[in-house]
A = this chain, B = another copy of it.
Amino acid sequence: MRQLFHDELEQVATDLVSLAELVSTAISQATTALLEADVQLADQVIEGDKAIDVRRNDLDSRSIDLLARQAPVASDLRTVVASMRMSGDLERMGDLARHVAQVARMRYPERAVPDELRDVFERMGRVGEDIVQRVGAIILSLDLEQAQDIEQVDDQLDELHRDMFTRLAEGAWAHGTTSAVDVALLSRYYERFGDHAVTVARRVVFLVTGEAGAVELPEESERD
């Protein structure tokens, strides 16, 4: 019975990792769709988000089923509860990738991002992809050091996000209101994407060390 339970728990972890992989593809494709005004790719991300939601619901149903059948306690219980929360974070990251794709779609055939900011969003996309891949690895490895590294990766997104708002400041912006609003929201999507990755990493730390506190989303920057 316990062996079966642990097999099932392992399956949950594996499924979380494939959820992270789907989200990694989503943020990467959404960024390309945004920068290239590629509406087919944008639609693919928007459509693909439904699959992420279905996987997440399926994963959570199985976790609830595990609770009902096995009545785990102590660290096993903590693992099941944490898994359900991590799936929620990953699903939300998928939503944020979809939001990026939706902005690309709305501005098509124009590009939503002015040329001079192209490199910043390219970097945000790359860091976003990197951070969710790291999160996937950590869910399996339960490596505390790797989990702590996530915070530094997220700092890059926060810094890019802050830079963006400096560029949007009065007088510095020459691309009109609509573009300013697009860029502000897009930048926020990437920043929130990173926040959720940090939360998953903190949940892993909590699982391993049992130390509570600080499992919530990191403090968002004042600007949001």
Contacts and interface: CB of A to CB of B under 8 A. Distances in A.
A1 interface: no
A2 interface: no
Contact of A177 (B67, B78, B180): B180
A180 B178 CA distance: 9
Contacts of A88: 88
A53 B216 contact: yes
Interface in A187-224: 188, 212, 216-217, 220, 222-224
A51 interface: no
A222 B176 CA distance: 20
Given A168-B177, A177-B180, A180-B180, A78 B64 contact: yes
A9 interface: no
30 contacts: A53-B216, A61-B212, A64-B78, A64-B81, A67-B67, A68-B73, A68-B74, A81-B84, A88-B88, A95-B217, A95-B220, A99-B220, A99-B224, A102-B222, A106-B222, A106-B223, A165-B181, A168-B178, A169-B177, A169-B178, A170-B177, A173-B177, A177-B177, A177-B180, A180-B180, A184-B184, A184-B185, A185-B185, A185-B188, A185-B224
Interface of A: 53, 57, 61, 64, 67-68, 71, 73-74, 77-78, 81, 84, 88, 91, 95, 99, 102, 105-106, 165, 168-170, 173, 176-178, 180-181, 184-185, 188, 212, 216-217, 220, 222-224
